[in-house]
Amino acid sequence: MQSHTPSRTGRPRSAAADEAILEATRAALVDLGWSKLTLGDVATRAGVAKTTLYRRWAGKNELVVDAVAVLFDELELPDRGSLAADIEGVVLQFAAILDRPETKTALMAVVAESTRDAPLRERIRTSIVDRQKRLVLEGRARAERRGELPVPADPCVAAETADLIFDVAAGAVVHRTLVSAEPVDADWVRRFTALLLGGLAAASE
Amino acid sequence: MQSHTPSRTGRPRSAAADEAILEATRAALVDLGWSKLTLGDVATRAGVAKTTLYRRWAGKNELVVDAVAVLFDELELPDRGSLAADIEGVVLQFAAILDRPETKTALMAVVAESTRDAPLRERIRTSIVDRQKRLVLEGRARAERRGELPVPADPCVAAETADLIFDVAAGAVVHRTLVSAEPVDADWVRRFTALLLGGLAAASE
DNA sequence: CAGTTACGCTACGACCCGTAGCGAAAGCGC
DNA sequence: GCGCTTTCGCTACGGGTCGTAGCGTAACTG
């Protein structure tokens, strides 16, 4: 969120307004998409003055990041018994979130903006990307406990491998969904997982 | 381009103006980025009236796609002797194009817009994406001639595999560059290629 | 109650959009 | 050469969004 240090005195900021604004932002993203979304319209939908919106967020970019970030909270890594099943499960979850119209149009737009805005990039990293990356680390740790993956000797190499896996998995799903515009269905996920696990097995030999 | 059927009579459209506009668009992307780029500014930079710009392109999206598309013309697939070397070469080329400031800020922006604009998505596909995908098909055909990959029995499965490889490769490079904001250097490409080839080998067994 | 902060509302200049209208320029067929 | 057609540069315009300033009111604290 926007990390406003709450002062001890004075009228407190309405928490209900916060949620109403974020909800209105998601609704506006569904109806209008990124480019036609205006802050005035969001304020009207939320039943809030436009000035209130500007008091809490610096601009459209930051607002949309916060509005979309909560959708990634539902990402979990339930234990499905094997590394392959775990991967397939989390990839399907990620694809489902990315298939929503509000994330589809918003995510790549804010990433594009972040190429010229370092603070925005940091905000995206902490509130969205790191939540995804955590799943990769958890999945590997679980696979090591199962004995499906060897415990890495060099932790530095292990970190690089985790980053590689993350970029490959997240990138592939995003590219399939947004660029190729084809569905990430169970069949595709199965083939992708087979490719990924095969590559991991070959690399650790 | 914008596929304007040239009429036999009347004053012909200036081809020099076309190139000046696209060049000005790329320069404006470098200076201003996607969101702050305005068509009026592009027209001024190109030494062209704003109305001329609107006569040739429907809007900002289409213009930027055309301006960036030509940068992907330099993508080639020189024979480096092995499938691994071919992959590493083309991935490094793709990463180099994507590292330019004009493509970095523009590509994801137009992809984000294309989620709500089917004609734009088709334009991106034909003028940018298909040029990349072609390299995957050529690379595989070459590897089959070398005997590095088995000739697929089912052409339908082969097409699906090619699509998968394409989404994985392009997606990984894009994600690494734009989301993780870390360099696609020779070391990363080597590790990615090893992962991909290992997965391919495991899948064809 | 006084002090402080957030809120809703209005109004404002600045900017960009996309289009219309005009006269001039550059080709083609005769 | 002379019309015809299309594009060009230019100006001007209504409409929309931006981000901010100002002001009176509401909410909470000590």
Distance measured from the CA of protein residue A8 to the C1' of nucleotide C4, in angstroms? 10
Give the pLDDT of residue B185.
Answer: 97
Q: Please, which residues have CB within 8 angstroms of residue A167's CB and are 6 or more apart in sequence?
A: B172, B175, B176, B179, B180
* A105-160 confidence digits (pLDDT tens): 999 999 999 999 999 999 999 999 999 999 999 999 999 999 999 999 999 999 99
* B69-113 confidence digits (pLDDT tens): 999 999 999 999 999 999 999 999 999 999 999 999 999 999 999
Query: Tokens in use for A107?
Result: 């995510």
pLDDT over 60 at A55, yes or no: yes
Give the pLDDT of residue B190.
Answer: 98
CB-CB under 8 Å, B167 with A176: yes
A177 within some domain: yes
Residues A21 and A78 both lie in one domain: no
Q: What is the mean pLDDT of residues A175-187?
A: 98
Number of domains, chain B: 2
A1 within some domain: no
Give the pLDDT of residue A2.
Answer: 60
- B4 contact to strand D (CB, 7 A limit): yes
Query: Tokens in use for A91?
Result: 């990839």
Query: Tokens in use for A120?
Result: 């925005």
What does the alpha-carbon distance between residue B47 and residue B41 come to, in Å, rounded to a whole number?
A: 10
- B45 contact to strand D (CB, 7 A limit): no
Query: Which helix (H) or strand (E) segment is B178 a member of?
Result: none
* Three-state secondary-structure class, residue B65: helix
Residues B56 and B74 both lie in one domain: no
Residues A73 and A50 both lie in one domain: no
d(CA A189, nearest CA chain B) in Å: 10
B4 within some domain: no
Residues A47 and A93 both lie in one domain: no
Residues A48 and A86 both lie in one domain: no
* Three-state secondary-structure class, residue B117: coil
Distance measured from the CA of protein residue B71 to the C1' of nucleotide C25, in angstroms? 33
A5 within some domain: no
Distance measured from the CA of protein residue A9 to the C1' of nucleotide D30, in angstroms? 9
Mean pLDDT of chain A: 95
A165 within some domain: yes
Burial class (CB in 10 A: 0-12, 13-18, 19+), B67: buried
pLDDT over 60 at B1, yes or no: no
Give the pLDDT of residue A61.
Answer: 98
Give the pLDDT of residue A5.
Answer: 72
B194 within some domain: yes
* B14-69 confidence digits (pLDDT tens): 999 999 999 999 999 999 999 999 999 999 999 999 999 999 999 999 999 999 99
Please give the residue range of the domain that contains residue B48. Answer: 15-67
| Nucleotide whose C1' lies closest to the alpha carbon of residue A9 | D29
d(CA A44, nearest CA chain B) in Å: 23
Domain termination site, one of A6, A30, A56: A56
Residues A91 and A52 both lie in one domain: no
Report residue B203's pLDDT band, with 50, 70 and 90 as the boundaries.
Answer: confident
**CATH code for the domain in which residue B168 is found:** 1.10.357.10
Residues near strand C (C-beta below 7 A) are A 4, 7, 9-14, 17, 47-52, 55-56; B 8-12, 38-41, 50-51, 54, 59-60
Residues B130 and B142 both lie in one domain: yes
**CATH code for the domain in which residue B24 is found:** 1.10.10.60
A62 within some domain: no
The more confidently predicted of residues B2 and A168 is A168
Report residue B147's pLDDT band, with 50, 70 and 90 as the boundaries.
Answer: very high
d(CA A163, nearest CA chain B) in Å: 9
| Nucleotide whose C1' lies closest to the alpha carbon of residue B47 | D9
Distance measured from the CA of protein residue A41 to the C1' of nucleotide D18, in angstroms? 13
Residues A181 and A86 both lie in one domain: yes
SS (H, E, C) chain A: CCCCCCCCCCCCCCHHHHHHHHHHHHHHHHHHCCCCCCHHHHHHHHCCCHHHHHHHCCCHHHHHHHHHHHHHHHCCCCCCCCHHHHHHHHHHHHHHHHHCHHHHHHHHHHHHHHCCCHHHHHHHHHHHHHHHHHHHHHHHHHHHHHCCCCCCCCHHHHHHHHHHHHHHHHHHHHHHHHHCCCCCCHHHHHHHHHHHHHHHHHHCC
- A&B contacts, CB < 8 Å: 165
CB-CB under 8 Å, B202 with A178: no
Residues A192 and A112 both lie in one domain: yes
Q: Which of B112, B179, B196 is facing A34, going by the closest CB pair?
A: B112
CB-CB under 8 Å, B112 with A179: no
Residues A95 and A140 both lie in one domain: yes
B186 chain-A contacts, CB cut-off 8 A: none
Q: Which of A101, A121, A170 is facing B175, going by the closest CB pair?
A: A170
B10 within some domain: no
Residues A194 and A134 both lie in one domain: yes
| Nucleotide whose C1' lies closest to the alpha carbon of residue B8 | C28
Kindly state the percentage of chain B with pLDDT values over 70. Answer: 97
* A150-166 confidence digits (pLDDT tens): 999 999 999 999 999 99
CB-CB under 8 Å, B203 with A202: no
Q: For D16, which residue's CA is nearest its C1'? A: A38
d(CA A58, nearest CA chain B) in Å: 15
- B14 contact to strand D (CB, 7 A limit): yes
B198 chain-A contacts, CB cut-off 8 A: 198-203
Residues A97 and A138 both lie in one domain: yes
